[in-house]
Structure 1
Amino acid sequence: MSSFAKGALLLALAAFFGECLEFLLNMILAKELGEHGMGMYMQLLPVIFFVVVISSLELPVSISKFVAEQKKEYHYSMLRHALRFVYKLTGMILIVVLVILPFLPIFSAYHPLVRYLLFLLVPIVSFSSIARGYFMGVQQMEKIAISNFLRKAVQLIVLYLLFQGLSFNESSALFIALAVLIGSEAVVFFYLFAQYLLQYRMMKQVTHHDMDGRDVHKALMSVSVPTTALRIFNAITNAIQPFLIKGALVVSGAGGVMATEQYGLLAGVAMSIGFFPAFLSHSIMVALLPNVSEAYAKQDGERLRSLLQQSMWVTFLYGIPAVYLMYWFAEPLTHLFFQSPEASLYLKLLWPYFLFHFFIHPLQAYLIGLGLVKDAFYHSVWSHIVSFLMMYILGSMSQFQMTGVILGMNMGIILLFLLHYVTICRKIGLSLFLLSSSRFT
Structure 2
Amino acid sequence: MASSFAYDILSNKIETRSAKAGVIGLGYVGLPLAIAIARSGFAVTGFDIDPKKIVSLDAQHSYIDAVANDDLATEMDGGRFSATTDFAGLAACDVIVICVPTPLTKHRDPDLSFVEATSRSIAEHLRAGQLVVLESTTYPGTTDDVVKVILEKTGLKSGTDFFVGFSPEREDPGNQHYHTATIPKVVAGDGPQALALMKGFYGAVVKTVVPVSSNATAEAVKLTENIFRSVNIALVNELKTVYAAMGVDVWEVIEAAKTKPFGYMPFYPGPGLGGHCIPIDPFYLTWKSREYELPTRFIELAGEINSAMPRYVVGKLAEALDMRSGKALSRSRVLVLGLAYKKNVADIRESPSLRLMEIIEERGGKADYHDPHVGEIPSTREYQHLKGRKSVDLTQELLDACDAVLVATDHDNLDYALIANSARLIVDTRNVFARLRLSADHIVKA
1 or 2, which has the higher strand percentage?
A: 2
TM-score by length of structure 1 reads 0.25
